Structure 1
């Protein structure tokens, strides 16, 4: 574990990474942090200021990135020597509170790397030539930091050997494309959801919970740098999603909506997730705008199809996250930036669909999750014509595929069933399309958007090819909020509207939607929607394969009726 931590520390940037970790480490050591890193203000070499009450000692940190070599020692305003001079000549004389003037002080050069042999004599010479009364100099490199992090942040109480084993296994298996990240998910559950922190209105218990969350953040940060180093950031997207969903479940379960410290940590993770989506999008963007640019990333066409829908889901989730951010910000510039980002992602989604014909041919019925959230993003960005065309393409391809007896969206989520249907021919088509959520949801979307031709085509093909298929849509109930952030909520809650018929015209379908809406849960019964985090149930749907909550498209009809 020490080697893992040390390598992670060596990858940290000086700003907003290592200088963020150091205060958390000091707090875990029981040391009071007086001053945190600040952007835009001259700090005269000091990044973190802390007071160790046990030793009655003031700790003055200057934080640097990576190894310290000759150029880092003395070549610019940001060099180690210049920072030490600023601390000695200015900071200690003008910025120290009078209550600390007589205590011992320690100037600490802190880095995730090491002090290279080429500058060790410079360091020793500087210390000898610049003595300060009641003041010592120290160097905290990767070795020392790794020991302190393991001892105080990953100690036996908060991160026992069993959890360390889960974490090590996560890192080892991370490059495996078939790895399901179950070890990290189990670690998350043990750290935060299964742990009994007691009454969290008590400061002692709350601090214990916050410490566990910080361990989660540290683990996530290590995974982030591991993923970047291995040029494999897709697992990071799923890990970051899981952390955000787990933290919200923790907040919901313990009614911590108004706890500023917990909400601040959640918000940081929420922003990190958005950043992870952006990193992932940047990596695959060029493939989306090329004909069949995502093909060739599977061992066969079935795996390629699954992969393409996965990319569609991730990108549309990111687009919706940016779009919904408009409602969570009062800053005009931030809103404008979010709308711009949503439109960029929308354009890439359109390119993905246009350049990959397999987006017209979902192989799983539950690909309606990706299809629905993509259609929502397109709708919010005024792309009704494109939606209309895509729905007609999907229903045409699905109907033709079913008639041919292969490559239609099967009702199960089993890859073995796909093989049995499409390759070995061991299963009859009727066995794998006894039910469908894809068909009625597309019909409802067509009716809500007044897409007459799409709706008529769905009605025609359902009557012709799918008269024996039970059409159904899942709806949440009052228990759903207790499951949606950590499981497939459809397995544990809600109800199924079945069988659904496709009425002759759009108005009849709208009447059906209005009637069922009267029986479903209200928005305030889904905590994240009630608190304005509209994206969380959508993230949960794609992550756990829970059907998209119908309120996301059915509420559009309600708005139109007002």
Structure 2
């Protein structure tokens, strides 16, 4: 296990990676981290992390960390203003005399040279000479916190037997060993997360340790997956870890105690890793190829059209979620009061540019991969709705959405007419391989209910596309009169089960009035939103973390709550009565 951790640490970059792990480790060691707090950012006069406390029974000391990624080389030691030696000079000349808090002055100071690898031989003597000259001159102590020491501390304090039994550590090792078999790797990692997030009856301190362990294990998985060039397991695992992390953190929302703030900080660290994994996956594996005709379809490396269809809609949902997280990040940046106005505007422009790139990438993915013009599974409406939601955040994309969904309705109608590969309710992969069968009653059995056609009709109504709406009406009348056009809404049980998928929850609005006018459909479905206030009581919604709901919908295959589309309905002044929903349980 130590070798696994050692390799993981050596692969971490300095900013946003290694410096994201060190504060949690110091807290587990019993130190109090007082800088940076509560957010991580650029170093302050050479100090990346500052903490105070006692280690191994010694007297209380102040620990000042200057962090570098990988091995300490001649270049990272003393070649530019960002080198470690310059940071140490800044600590001695500026931070200690001017920035160190008064309450800590007079305490023994330890300056820690921290890096994920080792000191290279060619700079060892230079580092030793620097330390020898400055220890006596400034009256401070220097310590080397290299990858080996960090790995030992992580193993002893995060992964010790009483906190993480051998069975759980074995699951982590298996998840790493099977990265080239993503389904197996994800299975082991998700079992690990379920074990760590089982917190019933545990103290706040134990819950804090559990969520920090989730953060650490996810980082280890990401580091290994990045080195292996296969991020599939890491992406799926990060969604699972994020949702289970919120299950721990949600009860501490709004509380001001030290454990509560630390747990919330740990959750946002998991969120940061999830976003890094997602953006790395999309920026490296997907977006560079969306403009190439059939490129991503060919990359599935299967001669089976079913495999291509399933994977491309999965990728579509991931790309949409990437853009939605960027949209959320932009809004968060606008609310931040920690940056100067000029810096905030620069950051917002950068994020806005990325959002537009993700929107354009989504449309290019659709245009260059015709498999995305017709889903094989009705539940792929979830990914379609996510993509439409992202695109609809810019009104200039309205025509693109209508064109895409119109082609989809045309293909669905034709497939139903000729009994081709029409969207169905089948989940089993082996049964999907045999779809469609030319048997009596097969069509009726495989299309008993649908959220796909209601979603297409809903967007047609929101975008004032009467022709598209009429196409859905025609499909219903000519081919799917037996099919229950329906939609799902969260209910009172959803908060308990949404983030862990521990049980079924929610309610269904059945037999949607597709035969009526678009306005009447909108009044029906959004009127039901007013009658199902459970959505607004979800902890993620209350905390402003609404994309977390979409992550849960994508991961656990739940329809996107229509409450998130109410802004579009409000623009059309939609409100109205509703009929009763039926329990999904």
Question: Scaled by the length of structure 1, what TM-score is found?
Answer: 0.87
Q: SS in structure 2 opposite 1:186?
A: helix
Relative distance call for 1:49 and 1:518 in structure 2 (3 A) is closer
1:409 corresponds to: 423
Measure, in 1, the Cα distance between the counterparts of 2:406 and 2:92.
72
Give the alignment partner of residue 498 of structure 1, picking from 510, 528, 534. 510
What does residue 240 of structure 1 align with? 238
Deviations 1:236-280 (A, max 9, x none): 33222222222222233x353434433333333334433333222
The answer (yes or no) to whether the contact 1:448–1:556 under 8 Å persists in 2 is yes
What is the aligned counterpart of 2:385 among 332, 357, 372?
Answer: 372
1:304 is aligned to 308
Q: Deviations over 1:99-140 (max 9, x none)?
A: 777766554433221233344444555566666287654433
8 Å CA contact 2:64, 2:111 repeated in 1: yes
Which residue matches 2:339? Answer: none
Paired residues of 2:19 and 2:48 also in contact (CA < 8 A): no
Going from structure 1 to structure 2, the CA distance change for 1:426 and 1:216 (only over 3 Å counts) comes to farther
SS of the residue corresponding to residue 295 of structure 1 reads helix
Per the alignment, residue 435 of structure 2 pairs with 421
Q: In 2, distance between residues paired with 1:109 and 1:86? A: 13
Q: 1:119 to 1:274 in 2, by over 3 A?
A: closer
Change (3 A) 1:182 1:449: same
Work out whether 1:188 is the aligned partner of 2:200.
no
Alignment partners' CA distance in 1, 2:171 and 2:310: 28
CA–CA distance in structure 2, aligned partners of residues 498 and 484 of structure 1: 21
Q: Is the 8 A contact 1:434 1:469 kept in 2?
A: yes
Give the secondary-structure state (helix, strand or coil) at the position aligned to 1:109.
strand
The answer for the alignment partner of 1:117 in structure 2 is 121
- Unaligned runs of 5+ residues in structure 2 are 337-343, 575-585
2-side partners of 1:381 and 1:98: how far apart?
A: 51
User: Secondary structure of 1:294's match?
Assistant: helix
Matches within 5 A, 1:523-562: 523-553=535-565, 556-561=568-573
Which residue number in structure 2 is paired with residue 21 of structure 1?
A: 21
Kindly tell me: are residues 455 and 156 of structure 1, through their superposed partners in 2, closer, same or farther at Cα, counting changes over 3 Å?
Answer: same
Name the CA distance, whole Å, in 2 between partners of 1:330 and 1:84. Answer: 34
CA distance in 2, matches of 1:281, 1:261: 30
Deviation at 1:369? 0.3
Partner of 1:473: 487
SS of corresponding position for 2:492? coil
SS at match of 2:386: helix
Contact preservation (8 Å) 2:402, 2:468: yes
Query: Who is 1:274 aligned against?
Result: 275
TM-score (normalizing by structure 2): 0.84
Q: 1:292 to 1:55 in 2, by over 3 A?
A: same
Rounded to whole Å, the distance in 2 between the matches of 1:64 and 1:228 is 19
Distance 2:440 2:142 in 1: 74
Equivalent residue runs for 1:99-138 within 5 Å = 106-124=110-128, 132=136, 137-138=142-143
CA offset at residue 150 of structure 1? 0.5
Shift of 1:477: 1.5
Q: Paired residue for 2:172, among 164, 167, 176? A: 167
Deviation at 1:485, TM superposition (A): 1.4
Shift of 1:347: 1.3
Which SS does the other structure have where 2:181 is aligned? coil
1:292 corresponds to 2:294: yes
Cα deviation digits, residues 57-81 of structure 1 (max 9, x gap): 6345443332234455554555555
Which whole-Å CA distance do the structure 1 matches of 2:471 and 2:95 have between them?
75
1:540 CA drift (Å): 0.9
SS of residue in 2 equivalent to 1:178? helix
Distance 1:394 1:145, change over 3 A: same
How much does 1:339 deviate?
A: 4.0
**d(CA) in 2 for partners of 1:356, 1:46:** 46
Partner of 1:256: 253
SS in 1 for 2:533: coil
Paired position in structure 2 for 1:10: 10
Residue 496 of structure 1: SS of its match in structure 2? strand
Of 135, 148, 155, which residue of structure 1 is paired with 2:160? Answer: 155
Q: Which sits farther off after the overlay, 425-434 or 501-510? A: 425-434
- For the Cα contact (< 8 Å) 1:484–1:540, is it kept in 2? yes
How far apart, CA to CA, are the structure 1 residues paired with 2:464 and 2:335? 33
Once residues 434 and 440 of structure 2 are traced to their aligned partners in structure 1, the CA distance between those partners, rounded to angstroms, is 5
Q: How many residues align?
A: 552
Measured at CA, do residues 19 and 516 of structure 1 come closer, stay the same or move farther in structure 2, by a change above 3 Å? closer
Contact preservation (8 Å) 1:315, 1:345: yes
C-alpha displacement at 1:394, in angstroms? Answer: 0.9
| CA spacing shift, 1:298–1:472, aligned 2, 3 Å | farther
5+ long unaligned stretches in structure 1: 199-204
What is the Cα deviation at residue 501 of structure 1?
4.4
Distance 1:317 1:180 in 2: 22
- Secondary structure of the structure 2 residue equivalent to 1:478: coil
Q: Which residue of 2 aligns with 1:344?
A: 357
Match of 2:460 in 1: 446
Q: CA deviation at 1:432?
A: 1.7
Distance 2:46 2:331 in 1: 40
CA distance in 2, matches of 1:49, 1:480: 40
The answer to whether the 8 A contact 2:211-2:267 is kept is no
Is 2:113 the counterpart of 1:145?
Answer: no
Check if 1:359 corresponds to 2:369.
no
Mapped pair 1:65 → 2:69:
yes
Q: How far, CA to CA, are the matches of 2:184 and 2:12 in structure 1?
A: 26
1:201 alignment partner in structure 2: none
Q: How far apart are the structure 1 equivalents of 2:563 and 2:365?
A: 26
